Amino acid sequence: MQSKSLRAQIGVLILATSIIQLANGFFGTFISLRVAMADFGATTSGLVLSSYFAGFTLGALRCERIIGRVGHIRAYAAFAGMVVAATATMPLLPEPLAWLVLRAIIGFGCSGLFITTESWLNAKADPRERGRIFSVYMLGTFLALALGQLLIGKAKVETAEPFNGIAVLFAVALVIVSTTRAEPPRAAAATSLPFGRLPRAAPVAVVGCIVSGLVSASFYSLVPAWMQDEDIARETIAIFMLIAVLGGLAFQVPIGRFSDRFDRRVVLSMLSLGFAATAIAVVNLPHSRPVILTAAALLGGFMSTLYPVCVANAHDQMPADQVVAVSGQLILVSGLGSVLGPLIGTIVMAYFGINGLFYFMAAVSLLLFFMAIARRLLATPPIHQERTFEILTPQASPLAHDPLGPAVPAPLRKEREQSPLL
């Protein structure tokens, strides 16, 4: 069992990450509303919203080296300081180019914070309790993201106050973590993976990660802005986004069980078809409150489970000693999808409105559906590996995986969450 000291240190890390996700959940929806108010134009707005994901993806590729060079506490302080400084600067430089750069810096810093925390947790946790610890970690992050949506209803979006509040939350997390002692994770033995090999071995997983990034980033970046432009009350916007986040949480365990029992390509086809059908229904059904909130829960649930099922499918196809390299490449392709999503989405919305955005998200989901079905019919099902479905988002970097550690019992693995959304 973990000592009281280690439990306290793990609790501190989970608390700090929950505070960061509280800030992130609020920031993601807030910046969508603020960019819409600034009226930068479709392409420029898309670039500003996408720049966060570009920075996040770059961080997933580079932050491991920074952490290895300076240690966990110093790296965490550097990443948090970077986010605080960039956030505080945004209201001082309300120009699209400045915001594009600053949002990219924030994305890079947030990626570093999540990577630092998850690798740190992996190092501290007893292998027998790792699944339970990460399930608590994921529960905390989901609930904090949901709570962050509720803050939108009370925020004065047109002022600098939200920027200041977000900076304060990141600074509080930094203070909390800076009081703990760092224990660097052990080095993990991993082999390199040529970039062409994974798409050949697991094409459905690679395309699924791209689709996951496209639809999630488009949804969380652009739907709140459209709702504001339609003069929908901010309290309603907050509830809509809250239901989407909670829908994502509710889908994790049941989809995980299906994923571990059936061919994951079939599960992916069901998820993508369900998302496409719901997106089309949103356009064509009456926009009553029960219909819209039900659709929000379904959209959030389908979106949030695409990525972890794709990760599990890719690991079914690849050797166990390449788990780190596979995870890293999936993070990269998901990040690329997240960068393209808001950019393409804003252009689509400029010509076709919100209906065009939902049809765009439905179209890319249907692409995944047809590809998954075709691969299921033409190729033999892969053998499920010991590594089963886990609650994951693209923020879980390769450094957060521990291929050398003992296997976590499957029931605990099923409970375990650089989505992003945003």
| Whether residue 364 has pLDDT greater than 90 | yes
How far is Cα of residue 118 from the mean position of the Cα atoms in its chain?
14
Burial bucket for residue 353 (CB in 10 Å: 0-12, 13-18, 19+): middle
Q: Is the pLDDT confidence value at 415 over 50? A: no
CA distance 155 to 415: 33
- Residue in the block written with tokens 């599990």: 312
pLDDT tens-digit readout, 325-340 = 777 788 888 889 999 9
Place of tokens 């690798």: 119
Q: Which of 227-241, 289-303, 349-363, 407-421 shows the lowest per-residue confidence on average (mean pLDDT)? A: 407-421
**pLDDT for residue 51 is more than 90:** yes
Token match 């609650």: residue?
A: 391
Q: Lowest mean pLDDT of 10-14, 72-76, 331-335, 410-414, name the range.
A: 410-414
| Helix 4-38 vs helix 234-261: crossing angle, to nearest 10 | 130
Mean pLDDT of 61-87: 89
Exposure string of 265-278, with b = 16+ CB inside 10 Å and e = fewer, is bebbbbbbbbbbbb
- Whether residue 19 has pLDDT greater than 50: yes
Name the pLDDT band for 188 (thresholds 50, 70, 90): low
Model pLDDT, residue 171? 95
Query: Looking at the domain covering 4-183+195-396, what would its CATH class be?
Result: mainly alpha
Q: What is the pLDDT of residue 321?
A: 66
Q: What per-residue confidence (pLDDT) applies to 409?
A: 39
CA distance 116 to 67: 7
Question: Is 62 within 8 Å of 55 (Cβ atoms)?
Answer: no
Q: Which of 52-66, 170-184, 232-246, 327-341 has the lowest mean pLDDT?
A: 170-184
Dihedral Cα 198, 204, 207, 209, nearest 10 deg: -80
Nearest alpha carbon to residue 148 among 82, 227, 246, 59? 246
Q: Give the chain's mean pLDDT.
A: 82
Q: Quick one: pLDDT at residue 120?
A: 78
Give the pLDDT confidence score for residue 47 in this predicted structure: 92
What is the residue whose two structure tokens read 């224990």?
Answer: 183
Tell whether the model's pLDDT for residue 388 goes beyond 80: no
Q: Rounded to whole angstroms, how far apart are CA atoms 59 and 53?
A: 10
pLDDT at 420: 36
> Lowest-confidence range among 70-79, 268-277, 293-302, 372-381?
372-381
**Do 320 and 386 touch, CB atoms closer than 8 A?**
yes
41 or 420, which is more confident? 41
* Of 185-194, 222-231, 299-308, highest mean pLDDT: 299-308
Mean pLDDT of 163-184: 85
Say what the pTM is: 0.79
Termini Cα distance of the chain: 36
Report the alpha-carbon distance of residue 313 to residue 317 in Å, rounded.
Answer: 7
Residue appearing with tokens 């992003």: 420
What's the gap between Cα 237 and its chain centre? 20
CA–CA gap between residue 416 and residue 326 (Å, rounded): 19
Q: What percent of the chain has pLDDT over 90?
A: 40
- The residues near 399 (Cβ < 8 Å, ≥ 6 apart) are 63, 64, 67, 115, 118, 119, 185
Q: Residue 300: CB partners within 8 Å, gap ≥ 6? A: 243, 244, 245, 246, 247, 248, 251
Across residues 162-187, what is the average pLDDT? Answer: 81
Q: 188: left (phi > 0), else alpha (psi -120 to 50), else beta?
A: beta
So what's the pLDDT on residue 35? Answer: 92
Q: Could you please report the per-residue DSSP string of 157-190?
A: TTSSHHHHHHHHHHHHHHHHHHTSPP-PPPPPP-
CB 364 within 8 A of CB 214: yes
Alpha helices in 192-322 (DSSP H): 197-201, 203-229, 234-261, 264-284, 289-317
- Per-residue confidence (pLDDT) for residue 300, from 0 to 100: 93
Taking residues 7-29, report their average pLDDT. 88
Q: Using CB atoms within 10 A of its CB, is residue 21 exposed (0-12), middle (13-18) or buried (19+)?
A: buried
CA–CA gap between residue 68 and residue 72 (Å, rounded): 8
Residues 116-161: tens digit of each pLDDT: 887 777 776 666 666 667 667 778 888 898 899 888 888 888 899 9
User: pLDDT band at residue 3, thresholds of 50, 70 and 90?
Assistant: low
How is residue 119 written in tokens? Answer: 């690798």
Domain boundaries, given as residue ranges, for the chain: 4-183+195-396
Would the pLDDT of 165 be above 60?
A: yes
CB 166 within 8 A of CB 27: yes
Residue 24's closest CA among 119, 82, 107? 107
